[in-house]
Structure 1
Amino acid sequence: MARATRGWWGLVLCLPLLMAGCATHLDSNGPVTASGLAEPADFAFERLAPLTYTPPDWPEALEARVLLPDTPEGRLRPAALLVHGGGWQRRTPDDMDEIAERLAERGYVTVNIAYRFAPTYRFPAQLHDLQQAMGWIHDRADEWRIDTDRIVGVGYSSGAHLVSLLGVLGSNGPLTAPHGGDHARLAAVLGGGLPSDLLKFDDGRLVVEFIGGTRAEKPDAYRLASPIYHVDADTPPHFLFHGRWDSLVPVDHATDFHAALLTQGVESELYLQHYRGHFTSFLTRDNAIEAGIAFLDRQVQEEEPSSPLTRYATQAPVPSSDSSAHADARQP
């Protein structure tokens, strides 16, 4: 009995280590090989007091938390728009603070925003909030030394849905906000637990309250609000991470979206976390976020200056021929 108890506790103690290494990391060529990263940048950063990013006539005053990295003077920096999850109707930017700090340490100006919640505000109100935030970032680009061609979107769950939808729609179509829509283009997206196709949900409360009706009542709105139906060759690169045991947003939202991106020739990486559900995927996100930030770094890397100011970019990864620890499990 004592031996069995010791074996059980050994398994419990080892489970976090097993979970940390159990993932499948794929791109268009299959399993991703490991990258030998250069010494990561570790910039100090300034934390600004919360700032209102919406104009006075916006339906609700919304705040942004901004981190400014201490990068060399005279150099433009990439920026990241961060959007929290919560089913489009709860949670706060607190959830994204740690990820924002990681990005700031890598040289990104980070803007971690609040947005309007359903059911008080229906789709596309939340997308308009993100478009307004992008216009606000552009307005402050000179002050904060932001390269507006290198703004990325980062989110989890409903936040990932919103940044991806911003990425696939940009400033086109009927969903453009009255302020800031012309500046809505993202350079890349990092999204976890992303609901890419709202038509797959069986009229669950959160989606119905977000859209304002069931699939039968508002099929066009469901399709319009689903990133997967807007993918084309101009869609920005996406890094997707997702728990295989996710029962709230099933894993086929990620695998199907990844396949749709690759079909259109869009760069995409898929990082599947084994033995993780929707919430544990976010709570144990470290390896996925590190891989995702490396992906973002590659998208915003600039080889040649393209403005009077030298563009700042984090050090690009150095390829390695070693087999990846994240390609050790079955492919989807």
Structure 2
Amino acid sequence: MPFSLPFFIRSRSARACRTSLLPALLGLASPTLAQQPLPRDTSFTVHSAFVKARKQHPAISIARPPVPRNVRTAAGLTYCTMPGGRALQLDAFYPRARRRQQFPAVLIIHGGGWRSGDRSQHVPLAQQLAAQGYVAVTAEYRLSTEAPYPAAVQDLKAALRWLRANPAQLPIDTTRLAVWGFSAGGQLAALVGTTPDDPRFEAGSCYRSRSTRVQAIVDADGILAFIHPESGEGDDRKSTSAATHWFGVGKDAAPALWQQASALSYISAQTPPMLFLNSGVARMHAGRDDVRQRLTALGIYSEVQEFPEAPHPFPLFNPWFEPTLRYTVAFLNRVLKPGR
């Protein structure tokens, strides 16, 4: 059941606001922002995650598949300009078509504990999805070092509204939208996808007449319930968790706020089909089984694909990148292309 608490609870340990820079990847340029960029949190990068995961999985490699020849790129598109001139940007990848054609779209949300990471990390996935007949969009959002919860949720909903409002810029079938997220991005994808047009998560003036309803959700190791026996977020007494930084207040001090950000709180007959892609780290998908139980009771399709031997950042690495892509495409084809 939804909860209503003040959204903006300021963190005592909040750091100075900074703007996001997109590291260049595969020829993509960094976005130009109105403000002078400040140093960002780089604690989670593909390389740092690789170095850590390789200690237990020495045979892994960073997934860098060849760029498909039939994919076009539109980089550095501004989807919303915040007060003060802060430009939120996305990169789009879509099939090269011989005739005018519209494709389902997938909004891809990166992880990094709500305070690190960037949209370039899932460019390889976006390119491969585009080759399979999707408009794949990687979007930035404000991290906890810049703005607390629920700013990230509101930003991503603005990105969905932009996709629906700009079919002329990209060949999108606006009736077929999905969200895909990894880790913190998986939590955000699930929350965005289960709260369509919820006024508490909609903010700003960017394309407010458009809907944020999606037709499919893919959650790759993203938490579904912050207050749950399987959840480890906010339980470390020795240091402040990533979620505590994001909320700006501890779980014990404001449990209803933490519950408010849990997708499990919003499962209803309007929830779209969901795919869960999971590593062997159980706390990273806390609440998943409860969500699936409710979906089943409502007659809504859901699916789980597990890699029990995999580390948490499995979608970024071989040998798990290819099956992650394959399971994603099969699910999206089933849900968004039912006649295929």
TM-score by length of 2: 0.72
Match of 1:191 in 2: 219
Q: Is the 8 A contact 1:243 1:281 kept in 2?
A: no
Q: Is the 8 A contact 1:240 1:270 kept in 2?
A: yes
Match of 1:110 in 2: 136
- Rg bigger for which structure? 1
TM-fit CA distance, 1:15: 9.6
Matched ranges for 1:1-332 at <5 A: 44-55=70-81, 57=83, 60-178=86-204, 179-180=206-207, 182-200=210-228, 201-203=232-234, 204=236, 205-244=241-280, 246=281, 249-280=283-314, 282-283=316-317, 284-301=320-337, 303=339, 316=340
Provide runs of 4+ in structure 1 moved above 4 Å.
14-17
Provide closer, same or farther for how the CA distance between residues 294 and 67 of structure 1 changes in structure 2, counting only shifts above 3 A. same
Which whole-Å CA distance do the structure 1 matches of 2:334 and 2:156 have between them? 24
Q: Is the 8 A contact 1:231 1:264 kept in 2?
A: no
Which whole-Å CA distance do the structure 2 matches of 1:16 and 1:263 have between them? 41
TM-fit CA distance, 1:190: 1.4
Q: Is the 8 A contact 2:226 2:286 kept in 1?
A: no
TM-fit CA distance, 1:130: 0.5
Structure 2 residue ranges without an equivalent (≥5): 1-56, 61-67
Q: Is the 8 A contact 2:81 2:88 kept in 1?
A: no
Secondary structure in 1 matching 2:75? coil
Secondary structure in 1 matching 2:93? strand
Structure with bigger RCO (C-alpha 8 Å, 6+ apart) = 1
Task: Map Cα deviations across residues 238-276 of structure 1 (whole Å, 9 max, x no partner).
Answer: 1101112x16x3454433333332233221000111212
Provide closer, same or farther for how the CA distance between residues 242 and 56 of structure 1 changes in structure 2, counting only shifts above 3 A. closer
Which whole-Å CA distance do the structure 2 matches of 1:16 and 1:260 have between them? 38
TM-fit CA distance, 1:134: 1.1
Secondary structure in 2 matching 1:265? coil
Greater percentage in helix:
1
TM-align CA RMSD: 2.4
TM-score by length of 1: 0.73
TM-fit CA distance, 1:52: 1.6
Which whole-Å CA distance do the structure 1 matches of 2:111 and 2:181 have between them? 7
The amino acid of 1:225's aligned partner reads A
- How many matched pairs? 265
Secondary structure in 2 matching 1:151? strand
Secondary structure in 2 matching 1:82? strand
Percent of aligned positions with the same letter in both sequences?
Answer: 23
Provide closer, same or farther for how the CA distance between residues 263 and 119 of structure 1 changes in structure 2, counting only shifts above 3 A. farther
Provide closer, same or farther for how the CA distance between residues 16 and 298 of structure 1 changes in structure 2, counting only shifts above 3 A. farther
Q: Is the 8 A contact 1:240 1:258 kept in 2?
A: no
Which whole-Å CA distance do the structure 2 matches of 1:271 and 1:70 have between them? 30
